[in-house]
Amino acid sequence: MLFHKLISYLFHPLLCSFTGTFLYLLLSPEHIIKEQEYIILLVVFISTYLIPVILLVLLKKLKLIEDYHLRSINERKFPILFFILLSFLIGRALVSIQIVDLLGFSFFGVAMALSFTYLLFNLKIKTSLHTLGIGGLIGFVIIMSHVYQLNFNALLAGLFIIAGLIGVSRLALNAHAPKEIYIGFLLGLTAQFISFQIYQNI
């Protein structure tokens, strides 16, 4: 059980956007000034990790959530709406820089996946945010591989193994039903491809 908890914490969905940004800046042939890279990484880390963590602490203090795991659908609603808006604003800011458009559209993909997650609340489906995050990360790496014609097969193999470990761990912890694991992964993956299609057609 300790192993499954460790996997859930190490590959927490709040870290996926920062990880995707780091991989993009590391692997993309479209280099920008180092100072700009550091600023982008810092802004993404603060926006997608620190601010959401502070929000969760505040919600816990106000007794609007029982714990940080957001076990119920009602507890998830506001944080997910907040993160949808945050992801959209980050994407818009990155697109305005112009040289990192692909990265910007990956955040639009995150916002899209989370929007579908919110809509599924109406069907009483509590989508796994862990598998949504890793699915989105895999989708983005596949897109980078296609756009830049680079071989990321080893990286993708590693990410798929991690996705499997995350899925098994969430099931072992009774955090989700199997369908919620699969829906999360497919939403994260598909939303990145849809966002990329939009990017190609503008």
pLDDT in tens, 119-150: 999 999 999 999 999 999 999 999 999 999 99
**Residue 98, φ and ψ in degrees, nearest 5:** 75, -45
Measured between alpha carbons, how far is 48 from 120 in angstroms, rounded to an integer?
22
CB atoms < 10 A from the CB of 121, how many?
15
The total number of structural domains that make up the chain: 1
CB 186 within 8 A of CB 135: yes
pLDDT of residue 200: 84
| Tens-digit pLDDT profile for residues 21-48 | 999 999 998 778 889 999 999 999 999 9
CB 106 within 8 A of CB 91: yes
| Tens-digit pLDDT profile for residues 151-161 | 999 999 999 99
Alpha carbon 150 to chain centroid, angstroms: 22
The type of residue at 9 is Y
* pLDDT reading at 87 higher than 90: yes
Measured between alpha carbons, how far is 175 from 193 in angstroms, rounded to an integer?
27
Domain interval for residue 142 = 2-200
| DSSP symbol at 123 | G
pLDDT of residue 30: 75
Residue 156, CA distances (Å) to 15, 135, 137, 143 in order: 17, 11, 10, 11
Label residues 86-117 b or e (16+ Cβ within 10 Å = b): bbbebbebbbeeeebbbbbbbbbbbbbbbbbb
Measured between alpha carbons, how far is 54 from 194 in angstroms, rounded to an integer?
31
* pLDDT reading at 69 higher than 90: no
Full-prediction pTM beyond 0.85? yes
